Structure 1
Amino acid sequence: MTGDDRFGQDVGQGRKDRLLGTSSEVVTDPVTDWASDFSHVDPVWVADPYPIQDELRRSCPIARTERFGGAWLPTRYEDVAAIAYDTERFSSRAVIVSNNKPPRELAPAGDAPPITSDPPFHREARRLLLPMFTRAVVAKQEEATRAYCHELIDAMRGRQVVDAARDYAQHIPMRVIADLLGFPPEDGPRFREFVENVLESIDQPPEERLGHQDELAAYLVTQIQGHLAEPRDDLTTYLVNAELDGRKLDPVHVVGTMMLLLIAGVDTTWSAIGASLWHLAATPADRERLAARPALLPVAIEEFLRAYAPVTMARLVKQDMHFNGVDMRADDWVLLSFPAANRDPARFERADEVLIDREENRHAAFGLGVHRCVGSHLARMELRVALEVWLERVPAFTLADPAAVTWAASQVRGPRTLPLRIL
């Protein structure tokens, strides 16, 4: 079988057949009791989850819901960390909570290696990606990223009000990921559609939701076929040629990894940049301090990552068990809220405050355990450059209308609309 033949099959349909598992009833009723019926896509949670997390941490601290076929929400750092490190009792075969639980046979690879992989498969799948995300490799992208940030701000010239989420934050990781994978930069709007379909559609029927993933897989296969016909020096060609145990990667593995890089690589950084700009717009003292002291920005970025950690991951319970006071059932979801862990006062002093000069800051924004984000160097570079350029070019700004700010209703939380007034 030639390389082209390997990817000429309907990979999307193959993924769909593998992923359809146990489905549950879609429940969209408003939450009335966060301890026994939480939903991380409820509008109240989406608008401001932190007070809810704080109350649960004091009174619960591991919440339960029967939505999504059954799920748990630990809110203390120690519980989140314990589960993140425990690969014996918790599986990563699916990391996005939805009304469909993929079959156990999907492990150990999962549908988007390595984030959905369990040991021992996970180690080698992750090792394949590490050379492409070192500090040295990431540093080579900084100049182009900085130039693109300037282009985006140039396009805003003359406008008193701009949407910093749609006009700035979202475009930066889209361009960076397109360059990494060797995709057409003009496909950026499609990336946004893919992100929203995968991460913000969890209450859709499973067949419809997986149909969206099929569309993304078909797009990725088209890109792969173009790279097979014309190899390039990029991450797509690298993955197509990569080997595990002396054999080329399975096409479903390649497509799944590219899906991970596209979705996670775009939305996490988009959200982090947007949340940081939201904070600075809403907190003039911090904005003025950073504009006057750019050298403080790397420290401030770590605090923005702690306080507004965008990512919540999921695990699936492997077997019935008792965990820290609750009885978990096999195949229950567990939402690993790194945002809640990062605001645990037992772990961080003045945890509910954003201190842009916080010196000791071992936050969990990039995850904990074997699945810690492989792209953390890239994300930090994009966030730093995006804020450096913005504060250099637009040092004075405020929220144009605080009520007009909207946030993503998904496990990756960040502003989706962020109207800022240039002062």
Structure 2
Amino acid sequence: MSGDARFTEELEEARRNRQIGAISEIVTDPVSDWATDFSHVDPGWAADPYPIQDELRQRCPIAHTERFGGVWLPTRYEDVASIAYDTDRFSSRAIIVSNVRPPLELAPRGGVPPISSDPPFHHDARKLLLPAFTKSAVAKREEATRAFCHALIDAMEGREVVDAAREYAQHIPMRVIADMLGFPQEDGPRFGEFVESALESVNRPPEERLARFTRLSEYLVAQIHDHVEHPRDDLTSFLLDAEMDGEKLDPMHVVGTMTLLLIAGIDTTWSAIGASLWHLARTPEDRRRLVAEPGLLPTAMEEFLRAFAPVTMARLVKEDMRWNGVDMKADDWILLSFPAANRDPAQFERADEVVIDREVNRHAAFGLGIHRCVGSHLARMELRVALEVWLERIPEFGLADASAVTWAASQVRGPRTLPLRIG
């Protein structure tokens, strides 16, 4: 049997034998008390989590809920950072809070390496990806990204109102990631479905989530088969050829990393672009200043990342312990809210304001510790180019209907609908 055939056979066997893990009760009731019964998928949290975070930071800096089988939510920067750096007591084997806890056997690789990997496995799994995400590698993608942004805006010509989330922000990272992985560009709409299924269905029945992930894995397996038959110069072929410790990557390692790049690589940047445009649409003084001073955009962009950080990661407690005054149990979830950390007044002056010329800005939008986002250079390039092109082409715009703006109810928060008046 050839190596390629053996790989695909092992992949199919691994998928058939996939373990589900412990399942907790689904709770969909409205939140009764954010300190003791919070839910990060509650509509109120999705619409505007910042006042809730501010209240918790003062009242109960480490909130708790029995939903999802037990979750802790630290809201102070120092607590979020402490957990993010502590790989001895907190595991990354599952990064999305849901009603299913993946089995211990998944560690140290986790389901979507390297972000789900624990040391020492994590180091080598992350190192594999670094060359594809250096500043120089990312710079080679800027020209095509800029041209694509212009094409998206060309398609809006003659219209007065557009959905900047669905018609602009989401398509930019979809195109970039498709090119990097060597996937058909026309599959973009399917990527959006995969993103929303993975991140916004966490409180649905486990069998439904499994069916959604099965559709995603079947798509990725089809892409792998195509790359096995027709190798080319892209990240998918690279992963199929890559080795760790002198051996080819386990098939589920390959699929997991492809899942990570597809889901996280799209939704995080989609959300950051959308949130930035939302702020500029409702804050005309900032919009006018950036149009007049385009050189300020890189600084403003970092402030948008701080103020509207899209990503909250999860950890699992490794064993029973008392931590910073609370009694954590083994396999309790921890929600690492980088958005809450970024608005902690103990860490940032005027933390609740968007200051587009903020000079000192050591924000945590890309995470902290060993799992800091490997794709941060790529995300910054996409965000910068998307805003540069939009402000160049559409310097005058505003919210068409503020009440029609909707936000993702998940661990990656950004506008899902963003009607802007551009005419």
TM-score, normalised to structure 2, is 0.98
Asked whether the 8 Å contact 1:302–1:361 carries over to 2, the reply is yes
Runs of 4+ in structure 1 over 6 Å off? none
Query: Residues 352-376 of structure 1, C-alpha deviation per residue, up to 9 Å, x if partnerless?
Result: 0000000000000000000000000
Q: Counterpart amino acid of 1:200?
A: E
1:12·1:214 contact (CA, 8 Å) conserved in 2?
Answer: no
1:152 counterpart residue number: 152
Aligned twin of 2:18? 18
Deviation at 1:14, TM superposition (A): 2.9
CA shift, 1:231, in A, is 1.0
Whether contact under 8 Å (2:10, 2:251) holds in the other structure is no
1:331 aligns to what SS in structure 2? coil
* Aligned residue in 1 for 2:54: 54
Q: Quick check: 1:94–1:315 contact (8 Å CA) kept in 2? A: yes
Which whole-Å CA distance do the structure 2 matches of 1:16 and 1:56 have between them? 43
SS of 1:18 mapped into structure 2: coil
> Which residue of structure 1 aligns with residue 207 of structure 2?
207
Cα distance in 2, alignment partners of residues 72 and 195 from structure 1: 25
1:65 is aligned to: 65
Q: Distance in 1 between matches of 2:3 and 2:214?
A: 21
Q: Is contact 1:19–1:106 with CA below 8 Å preserved after alignment? A: no
RMSD: 1.1
- Cα deviation for residue 224 of structure 1 reads 1.1
Indicate conservation of the 8 Å contact 1:3/1:228, yes or no. Answer: no
Alpha-carbon contact 1:7-1:224 (below 8 Å) kept: no
The amino acid across from 1:331 in the alignment is D
User: SS state of the match for residue 9, structure 1?
Assistant: helix
1:271 is aligned to 2:271: yes
Alignment deviations for residues 255-274 of structure 1 (CA, whole Å, 9 cap, x no partner): 00000000000000000000
Q: In the aligned structure 1, how far is the partner of 2:271 from the partner of 2:12? A: 27
Residue aligning to 1:164: 164
Per-residue deviation at 1:5?
A: 1.6
Residue 315 (structure 2) pairs with residue 344 (structure 1): no
2:247 alignment partner in structure 1: 247
Give the match for residue 357 of structure 2: 357
Following the alignment from structure 1 to structure 2, what is the Cα–Cα distance between the partners of residues 121 and 301? 33
Identity %: 76
Matched, 1:376 2:376: yes
* Whole-Å separation in 2 of the counterparts to 1:13 and 1:103: 18
What amino acid is aligned across from residue 356 of structure 1 in structure 2?
A: I
Query: Which amino acid is 2:326 matched to?
Result: V
Whether the aligned pair in 1 keeps the contact of 2:26 and 2:99 (CA below 8 Å) is: yes
Q: Is the 8 A contact 2:309 2:365 kept in 1?
A: yes
Structure 1 residue 208, shift from structure 2 partner: 1.7
The match for 1:118 is 118
Partner of residue 397, structure 2: 397
Structure 1 pair 37/98, CA: closer, same or farther in 2 (3 Å)?
same
Which of 206-215 and 20-29 deviates more?
A: 206-215
Partner of 2:295: 295
Distance in 2, matches of 1:49 and 1:366, equals 19
Unmatched 5+ stretches in structure 2: none
CA distance in 2: counterparts of 1:390 and 1:420, whole angstroms: 12
Q: Deviations over 1:173-198 (max 9, x none)?
A: 00000000000000000000000110
The C-alpha deviation readout for 1:361-396, integer Å capped at 9, x for no partner, is 000000000000000000000000000000000000
Deviations 1:186-233 (A, max 9, x none): 000000000011000001111221221121111111111111111111
Q: Which amino acid aligns with 1:71?
A: V
Task: Give the CA deviation at 1:342.
Answer: 0.2
Say if 1:75 and 1:340, in contact at 8 Å, map to a contact too: yes
Q: How does 1:73-92 map to 2 (within 5 A)?
A: 73-92=73-92
State the SS of the aligned residue for 1:334. Answer: strand
Question: What is the number of equivalent residue pairs in this alignment?
Answer: 423
Partners of 1:16 and 1:210 within 8 A in 2? no
Structure 1: distance between partners of 2:10 and 2:206: 19
